[in-house]
């Protein structure tokens, strides 16, 4: 990948609806070579998908809950079951295995506290967890889906 590819990726991750000609103009390339580069990056998996970002507030899905989980189960069988259960919840938009004091971290998006409590009750009913802690975001200060392509 060269600097032109990075410019193309930067354009796409800020506005995936741009046409190949619009991107080509922004990166000082003609349309066909620009389109070919995009196709190659899609084929190689550098561009994994193009999506629309929705206005969460207008959809009443604007509460972020960061859920930390500690478990005393550290075996593959338990993890597979846990992973399947967590992935079945559409409210879980991010899910990580962590190092340090916390075993797992989830970001859960819900409309309100009652919806989160339903999620929580369903989760603990389906799998044995040693400790669950919930932290509610009071304000979103920065949010981006853009991957930093250039060093600051």
Domain extent, residue 32, equals 3-44
pLDDT at residue 144 greater than cutoff 80: yes
Residue 28 pLDDT: 96
Judge whether 84 lies within some domain. yes
How many domains, in total, are found in the chain?
2
Residue 152 pLDDT: 59
Question: Mean pLDDT over residues 107-114, rounded?
Answer: 98
Judge whether 97 lies within some domain. yes
What percentage of the chain's residues is helix, strand, coil (to nearest 5)? 40, 20, 45
Judge whether 149 lies within some domain. no
**Angle CA 19–24–25, to nearest 5:** 100
Q: Domain of 38: which CATH number?
A: 1.10.10.10
Residue with tokens 């991010």: 94
Pick the range with the lowest mean pLDDT from 30-39, 60-69, 143-152: 143-152
Average pLDDT, the chain: 95
Judge whether 120 lies within some domain. yes
Full-prediction pTM beyond 0.75? yes
| Residues 127 and 89 occupy one common structural domain | yes
Backbone angles phi, psi at 68, to 5 degrees: -105, 140
pLDDT at residue 34 greater than cutoff 70: yes
Judge whether 143 lies within some domain. no
| Residues 35 and 77 occupy one common structural domain | no
Q: Give whole-number Cα distances, 66 to 43, 73, 123, in Å.
A: 34, 21, 14
Contact (Cβ atoms closer than 8 angstroms) between residue 63 and residue 116: yes
Q: Domain of 129: which CATH number?
A: 3.30.70.920
């Amino acid at each position: 990948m060269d600097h032109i590819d990075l410019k193309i990726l930067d354009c796409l991750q800020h506005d995936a609806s741009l046409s190949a000609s619009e991107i080509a103009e922004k990166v000082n390339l003609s349309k066909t070579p620009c389109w070919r580069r995009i196709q190659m990056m899609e084929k190689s998996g550098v561009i994994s998908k193009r999506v629309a970002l929705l206005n969460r507030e207008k959809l009443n899905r604007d509460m972020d809950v960061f859920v930390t989980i500690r478990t005393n189960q550290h075996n593959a069988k338990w993890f597979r079951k846990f992973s399947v259960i967590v992935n079945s919840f559409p409210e879980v938009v991010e899910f990580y295995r962590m190092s340090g004091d916390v075993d797992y971290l989830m970001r859960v998006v819900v409309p309100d506290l009652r919806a989160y409590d339903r999620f929580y009750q369903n989760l603990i009913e389906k799998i044995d967890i040693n400790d669950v802690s919930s932290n509610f975001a009071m304000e979103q200060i920065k949010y981006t889906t853009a991957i930093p392509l250039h060093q600051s």
